Structure 1
Amino acid sequence: MRSGQVRRVLGIILVFLLMAIAGLALGRILAGEGYTSVYELFSPI
């Protein structure tokens, strides 16, 4: 693999990591409202 390809692969991995971290952060911020409503939707009780 050439250095350019290595840099491209590392950049893609970094983008996916940043998106995953941002998703977790948004999930924690919305946990008080979002997750309870999701659990209420999927729980039959």
Structure 2
Amino acid sequence: MISIYKDGGSNKYKVPHMKKHRLEGQNCLGRQLDVNLGLIGETIGQCQ
């Protein structure tokens, strides 16, 4: 999601493969994201 914000929130963003199943099996899958609030504000500004 952070990568989509950095790309400007475009619907054309291609999501990279994150190997979720492997990370989940290793109990390394994060439960929450650390997000830069300034980056979110910029993205919301572009949407308005």
Shorter-chain TM-score: which interval?
0.3 to 0.5
TM score, norm. by length of structure 1: 0.36
TM score, norm. by length of structure 2: 0.35
Question: Hey, which of these two has a bigger chunk of helix by percent?
Answer: 1
Greater C-alpha Rg: 1
